[in-house]
Amino acid sequence: MNDRDAVLKANAAFYLAFESLDLARMEVVWLQNASITCTHPGWHLLLGWGPVMASWQRIFVNSEVMRFTIIDAHAEAVGDLAWVVCTENLESTHGTETVNARLQATNVFQRKDGRWWLVHHHASAVSGPPPDGTPESMH
Provide CB contacts within 8 A for 135, sequence distance 6+.
none
Question: Binding string to a second copy for residues 66 to 105, with x set by CB under 8 A, is what?
Answer: ------x-x-x-xxxxxx-x-x----------------x-
Q: Could you tell me the smallest distance in angstroms from the CB atom of residue 24 to a second copy?
A: 21
CA 40 to chain centre: 9
Residue 95 one-letter amino acid: G
Q: In a 10 Å sphere around its CB, with 0-12 CB exposed, 13-18 middle and 19+ buried, how is residue 32 labelled?
A: exposed
Residue 122 binds to a second copy (criterion: CB under 8 A) = yes
Q: Which is nearer to a second copy, 16 or 45 (CB)?
A: 45
Contact (Cβ atoms closer than 8 angstroms) between residue 33 and residue 42: no
Q: Could you tell me the smallest distance in angstroms from the CB atom of residue 95 to a second copy?
A: 16
| Terminal Cα-to-Cα distance of the chain (whole angstroms) | 28
Q: Which is nearer to a second copy, 17 or 117 (CB)?
A: 117
Q: Which of residues 9-68 bind a second copy (CB under 8 A)?
A: 35, 37, 39-47, 51, 54-55, 58, 62
Q: In a 10 Å sphere around its CB, with 0-12 CB exposed, 13-18 middle and 19+ buried, how is residue 132 labelled?
A: exposed
Q: Could you tell me the smallest distance in angstroms from the CB atom of residue 67 to a second copy?
A: 20
Binding site for a second copy (CB under 8 A): 35, 37, 39-47, 51, 54-55, 58, 62, 72, 74, 76, 78-83, 85, 87, 104, 106, 108, 110, 119-120, 122-132, 134, 138-139
